[in-house]
Amino acid sequence: MIKRSFYILMVFIFVTTFSSCAQSKKDQKKQEQTTKEQTMKESKVLIETSLGNIVIKLYDETPQHRDNFLKLVKEGFYDDLLFHRVIANFMIQGGDPDSRGAAPGVSLGQGGPGYTVDAEIKYPQFFHKKGALAAARTGDQINPEKKSSGSQFYIVQGKIYSEEEMEMMEQSIVMQKSQMIMRKYMEPYREEYTKLQRANDMEGIQKLNDIISKDAEGELAVVESFKIPDNVKIAYTTVGGTPHLDDAYTVFGEVVEGFDVIDKIAAVKTGSQDRPAEDVKMKMKIIDN
**How do 91-94 and 52-58 pair as beta strands?**
unpaired
Phi, psi of 207 (to 5 degrees): -65, -40
Alpha carbons 147 and 211: distance in angstroms, whole number? 33
Sign (positive or negative) of CA dihedral 144, 108, 69, 50: negative
**249-274: b (≥16 Cβ within 10 Å) or e:** bbbbbbbeebeebbbbbbebebeeeb
Chain segment 70-115, per-residue pLDDT in tens:
999 999 999 999 999 999 999 999 999 999 999 998 999 999 999 9
Alpha carbons 96 and 110: distance in angstroms, whole number? 7
DSSP β-bridge partners for residue 82: 281
SS3 assignment, position 102: coil
pLDDT number for residue 15: 44
How many secondary structure helices (H) and strands (E) does the chain include?
7, 10
CA atoms within 13 A on the CB side of 135: 30
pLDDT number for residue 63: 98
**How do 43-49 and 116-117 pair as beta strands?**
unpaired
Domain ranges of the chain: 43-160+239-287, 164-224
> Do the Cβ atoms of 241 and 235 come closer than 8 Å?
yes
H/E element holding 166? helix 163-186
pLDDT number for residue 14: 46
Fold of 43-160+239-287: Cyclophilin (2.40.100)
For the chain, list residues with pLDDT below 50.
2, 6, 8-9, 11-15, 17-18, 34-39
Cα 85 to Cα 99, 188, 243: the distances in Å are 11, 39, 19
Q: Which amino acid is at 116?
A: T
pLDDT number for residue 288: 82
Q: Which amino acid is at 92?
A: I
124 upstream amide cis, omega within 30 of 0: yes
> pLDDT above 90 covers what percent of the chain?
80
Give the count of beta carbons closer than 10 Å to the beta carbon of residue 44: 17
Nearest to 124 by CA among 116, 136, 132: 132
